Structure 1
Amino acid sequence: MKKFKIIFSIIFLFFCIHLLSAKEIKLKIIETSDIHGNYFPYDFLNDTPGKGSLARIETYIQQQRDIYGKNLLLFDAGDFLQGQPTSYYYNFIDTVSPHLGARILNYMDYDAAVPGNHDIETGHSVYDRYFTQCKFPYLGANIINTSTGNPYLKPYHIFVREGVKIAVLGLLTPRIPYWLPKDLWSGLQFDDMQESIRKWLPIIREKEKADIIIGLFHSGEKPKSGNVKFEENTSFLIARDIPGFDIILLGHDHNALCRTITNKNGEKVLLLNPGSQGLNIARAEIIIEKKRNTLISKSISGALINTSNCGIDSAFMAQFSTAYDTIQKFSNSPVGTLTQTISTRDSYFGPSAFCDFINQLQLKISGADISFTAPLFFDTEIKAGKIFLRDMFKLYKYENRLHTMLLTGKEIKGYLEHSYSLWTNQMQSPEDDLLLFDNQYTGINKKLLYNSYNFDSAMGIKYTVDVTKPYGNKINIISMSDGSSFDLDKTYKVAINSYRANGDDGMLIKGAGIPKEKIKDRIVKTSDNDLRSDIMQYIHQKGTITPECKNEWKFIPEEWVAPAIERNRNDLFGNISITNKPSINVH
């Protein structure tokens, strides 16, 4: 009996020691973002094997699930439903079958996600259907239902793993109303991210008593301007200025990032962004020590995993083989014939057949006097010969609609002044760059300061761009394209896409000088369909299309511009000649 008591006492002592000792819990956090329809390892736009994709990401995830089991949490930071025929088909063509995107994320066992601006761009009928088909929560603390005043989506979610409480707070960039037509987000408002966080973070701390707090944001790292309220990219500011987050998983700006910063309280915050297209995976490893219910310590580390080293998951491909074949057939649907190859490359150095082709179609579709467009893809081409539905995604990247607006001649000039200020340097000598480069990138890695989709040029008018002049004096509009006079005081009908017509890029607000709240009053007509669909229908009706460069504008002085073009073309694309050398009649 005495022996039994001793044994029992020893067992009890060990049990008490076990209770009093700290327990170590290891967690793995994986983030994807800005997949943009790149579900399969195939580039449907160019009809070639592709990089990145969820099929490769699944390989890595399965490997990690074997190690971490339920302690692995998988999140997506938005812009999932736009960019490839894969998503477009299930957004707008087959609206009866379960959405392929939802099926894939359910199969991969995602734990939570936030929508991106391009997800909202698909419209209520698409994203509402998609959200209901996902078997995990879509989060959006700052997406407010205007009829109730409550979040339209769940603001945050709590996960419990081995007694560790992980809170994930989801937010979306609030710039939606500045980018997208209101009917796409009717009944919603998008609150400032920092204000929303200051509301919800105390609730997560005090009510939920989370051990780990993660921000899941569709908002890039750093702001583009000093405007903090309703800023597009504010993840860094939140990490620095609002203590409480352990990790911020971000997306939207497509810039891969793994960085630890110190917030204003001296605490470390890990920032992770996997970039886009599934080319990288962002992962965080968390080691927690808890004694009973008390957090003793936590350590957090992060890394980016390049998916080129991940094989293609065969089970994934087998699971979705029917959908893959459907998309392949859809992408290869014939649309018409192109008599010559068009490329966006010429668009940075003068008028191009690529942009002029879109402008011509916009003029014909809208009946406007003048049209604006930009190269939405930085570097793409559509080859001469038969063209297919997949080529329409290269011709027009986004699901923008076409607006017809009323602008005065003075406003048109101001619009162009702002556009060209975003992509041309003010040259001081023939040795200077024509294009406006980001000074962070030099040598063979030169990069434009702004994205090419900001570089609008016009059709319907003849004009010159003097790159030796400052903002406000670059543009000289000579006449209408038919030779008739152009009047700064006259009102013209202008074809413009819905993104521009919402004013956020500055062309209408800063350039044309139209107050944001007055822009909608200038819109006299809006297309029913997205521009890509309208263009595709036009080409299909015509059968054979002969794109041509109209040469309605040019850079001057030509003796400075010509050598600068050759240098800058090499900087961007290597030693490749320009298809078109503009020459307009300026008399």
Structure 2
Amino acid sequence: MKLNRSLLLLPCLSALLLALAFLSPTPLSGAANRIQITVLGTTDLHGNIYPVDYYTNKPDNRGLAKVGALIKRFRKENPNTLLVDSGDTIQGTPLEYYHNKKNNTPPDPMMLSMNALGYDALAVGNHEYNFGLKVLEKARKEAKFPWLSSNTYKKGTDKTHYQPYLVKEVSGVRVGILGLTTPGVPVWENIQNYAGLEFREPVSEARKWVSVLREKERVDVVVIAIHMGLEEDLRTGEINPGQVPNENRAVAIAKQVPGVDVIFMGHTHRDVPALSVNGVLLTQANHWGRHLARADLYLQKEGDRWQVYAKSARTIPVDDKVEADPEILKLTEPYHSETEGWLSRVIGESAAELTAREARWRDTAILDLIQRVQLEAGKADASMVASFNADARINKGPITVRDIAGLYVYENTLVVLEVTGQQLKEALEHSAKYFRSYEPGKTAADLVDQRIPTYNFDIAEGVTYILDITKPLGQRIQDLSFRGKPLDPNQKLKLATNNYRVNGGGGYTMYKNAPVVYRSSEEIRELIIDWVERHKTIPTEPTNNWRIAP
């Protein structure tokens, strides 16, 4: 969802003006009954430490090393500062992948960095489960701060798997930090990766635990770090499409849970400087360490309790002016060097340059490479893939592991289902929702529904079809054929896809109850690397089995 900056800032303007009376670090000079507490927040760091794009091998304004420099600066400004993260931390870069899958013996590099920066708490994200519970628990034990999730329970019990909350005393002010996890984990993950756990509805759990913080723990401030984002467009009230049940509930929590001061959001990879919903301040620090969120709370003592009188929030961009923190760079340099060595390994040769830049508008050889690997590895009739990275590129000449890592950025595994022609058509019709209603003179690129992630736009191979965006939703897939004949709705096909789709990820519910013919334990990325190493070269022309009309 694209948010208007004025809409973001106006609700907090009055709070900001009131806050001007509290500008000095606390306690305020001559006013020991007043105090300013700063809470800093990161989210969706996804293993980004060094300010580099590992896929392009170029510098980039991102990562915990740069964010760390901002954190240290703001701590000097106000010693009464807390630091939280809203999850999706130990997955997402080749650095974390190499550590978790190739050499998991050393401490997790993200935990090493976050320990050095003095994090107070982390709310568990769904991607923490990508490498299984053994890897998750190892990283958790290495953290010198608690991993929080008040809605993750040991299955069949009323015992939370993680610590639900943390209480920190800051210059006499009791601050409660509550953690919540998006409950969509079972939809997106292989069952063994969260065995023995269940994820409960977040609004009721937030209400329960905030009550504990306010009544039992007697906290003065409640901060929630949630691995969830905005579920609706606040201007229209329209629910954002493609969400699984309760995936994002930040607005509902703000509206329905009394006693909350600030919510640090995550999961949706959005930069949200400040929103005020029902008097609750919401902020979100984008993703990959591109921003740092900052909330300032201004309190005054009334009797024996502290009351929040004003609050404001903003996000600070990580730009060229921010120098990476040398301590974090030095601490994680061995991990970075090891990762670079792996990524630079040559595995094959390409006779032409391939790019995914136009993969959403036309058939491309670079996505056909993924299709080919899935079809062969799964001995399937048809295959479905999405473009995960529009910047993916394979240059003419040597192919490296880096090229394939940039093409397939997720840890998905291959699954082959037995589906009917009707189910395949339903999947393609669902995918076609990626485009809004047709408008004459507009291109397909102009008609993309920006609320739908690109990774939920699936393209098929093994069949031929036309995606006609002039047609109504549900009727856009035309001339669907298999081996030169119209595809019979009752015909059985072996369809190669990934575990995320099989579990219903992206709203692909038509696969529910489809028999599993084959399931690989190896990531699709590794299957592609193995295929290129065996064949030494790759096809450089697309099959052109589909097109967009008009």
TM-score, with length taken from structure 1? 0.83
Judge which range, 300-309 or 466-475, deviates more.
466-475
Q: Work out which of the residue numbers 303, 307, 310 in structure 1 matches 2:314.
A: 303
Distance 1:93 1:156, change over 3 A: same
Q: C-alpha separation between the residues in 2 aligned to 1:467 and 1:279?
A: 35
What's the CA shift string for 1:394-441, capped at 9, x where partnerless?
Answer: 110110011000111111111111111223x44364x24434646xxx
Rounded Cα–Cα distance in structure 2 between residues aligned with 1:114 and 1:144: 14
Counterpart selection for 2:88 from 73, 79, 101: 79
Cα displacement (A) at 1:484: 5.3
- Alpha-carbon shift at residue 78 of structure 1 (Å): 0.8
2:490 counterpart letter in structure 1: D
Which position in structure 2 is the counterpart of 1:219? 228
Q: Tell me if 1:323 matches 2:335.
A: yes
Shift of 1:465: 2.2
Counterpart Cα distance in 1 of 2:430 and 2:157:
40
From 434, 437, 445, the equivalent of 2:444 is 434
Matches within 5 A, 1:132-143: 132-143=141-152
In the TM superposition, what is the alpha-carbon distance from 1:24 to its structure 2 partner? 2.0
Report if the CA contact (8 A) 2:224-2:260 is conserved: yes
Q: How does 1:116-195 map to 2 (within 5 A)?
A: 116-146=125-155, 148-195=157-204
What corresponds to 1:380 in structure 2?
392
Question: Structure 1 unaligned runs (5+)?
Answer: 1-19, 439-446, 562-587
Residue of structure 2 equivalent to 1:488: 489
Shift of 1:187: 0.8
Specify the alignment match of 1:475 in structure 2.
477
1:90-105 equivalences in 2 (<5 Å): 90-105=99-114
Q: Does 1:504 align with 2:505?
A: yes
**Residues in 1 aligned to 2:55 and 2:292: alpha-carbon distance in whole angstroms:** 23
TM-score using structure 2 length: 0.89
Q: Provide, for residues 546-569 of structure 1, a one-character-per-residue CA deviation record: whole Å limited to 9, x for no partner.
A: 23300112223xxxx3xxxxxxxx
> Counterpart amino acid of 1:270?
L
Measured at CA, do residues 321 and 554 of structure 1 come closer, stay the same or move farther in structure 2, by a change above 3 Å?
Answer: closer
Among 444, 455, 458, the alignment partner of 1:456 is 458
State the partner residue of 1:57. 67
- Measured after TM superposition, the shift of residue 193 of structure 1 is 0.5
CA shift in 2, pair 1:280/1:479, >3 Å: same
Indicate the SS of the match to 1:524.
strand
Q: Which has the larger radius of gyration?
A: 1
After TM superposition, the structure 1 stretch with the greater mean CA deviation from structure 2, 303-312 or 356-365, is 303-312
Q: Note the C-alpha offset of 1:480.
A: 2.1
- Match 1:241 to one of 256, 280, 301: 256
State yes or no: 1:333 paired with 2:345: yes
Q: Which residue of 2 aligns with 1:42?
A: 52
Distance verdict in 2 for CA 1:228–1:201, change over 3 Å = farther
Tell me the secondary structure at the aligned position of residue 177 of structure 2: strand
2:548 corresponds to 1:548? no
Distance change in 2, residues 1:68/1:352 (3 Å): same
Q: Paired residues, what number?
A: 514
Alpha-carbon contact 2:220-2:307 (below 8 Å) kept: no
* Structure 1 residue 383: Cα displacement: 1.6
1: CA distance, partners of 2:336 / 2:415: 34
Give matches, 1:262-273, under 5 Å: 262-263=277-278, 268-273=279-284
> Which residue of the other structure, out of 372, 377, 382, is the alignment partner of 1:365?
377
Shift of 1:253: 0.6
Distance 1:118 1:339 in 2: 36
Residue matched to 2:301: 290
CA distance in 1, matches of 2:540, 2:125: 34
Corresponding residue number in structure 1 for 2:9 = none
Q: 1:548 to 1:433 in 2, by over 3 A?
A: closer
Aligned-residue identity in percent: 30
Counterpart contact for 1:22–1:292, Cα < 8 Å: no
Would you say the 8 A contact 1:382–1:394 is kept in 2?
no
Q: Aligned to 2:47, what secondary structure does the other structure show? A: coil
Using the alignment, how far apart are the partners of 1:274 and 1:179 within structure 2?
23
> CA offset at residue 479 of structure 1?
2.9
User: Does residue 550 of structure 2 align to residue 535 of structure 1?
Assistant: no
Helix, strand or coil: the match of 2:147? coil
SS at match of 2:405: helix
| Cα deviation code 1:20-49 (max 9, x no counterpart) | 985222211110111112111122111111
Q: CA deviation at 1:340?
A: 2.0
- In structure 2, the gaps of 5 or more residues are 1-29, 233-238
Letter paired with 1:551 = N
CA deviation vs aligned residue, 1:188-244 (integer Å, no higher than 9, x gap): 111110121122121111100110001100001124459999421111221122221
Match of 1:250 among 259, 265, 269: 265
Provide the secondary structure at the position in 1 that maps to 2:366.
Answer: helix
Q: 1:90 to 1:227 in 2, by over 3 A?
A: closer
Instruction: Tell me the C-alpha RMSD between the 2 structures.
Output: 2.1
Contact 2:479/2:486 (<8 A) preserved: no
Q: 2: CA distance between counterparts of 1:437 and 1:485?
A: 28
Aligned counterpart in structure 2 of residue 26 of structure 1, from 36, 42, 61: 36
SS of the residue corresponding to residue 320 of structure 1 reads: helix
Q: Report the equivalent of 1:198.
A: 207
* Partner SS state of residue 358, structure 2: helix
Q: Aligned with 2:450: secondary structure? A: coil
Contact map agreement 1:401 1:529 (CA 8 A) in 2: yes
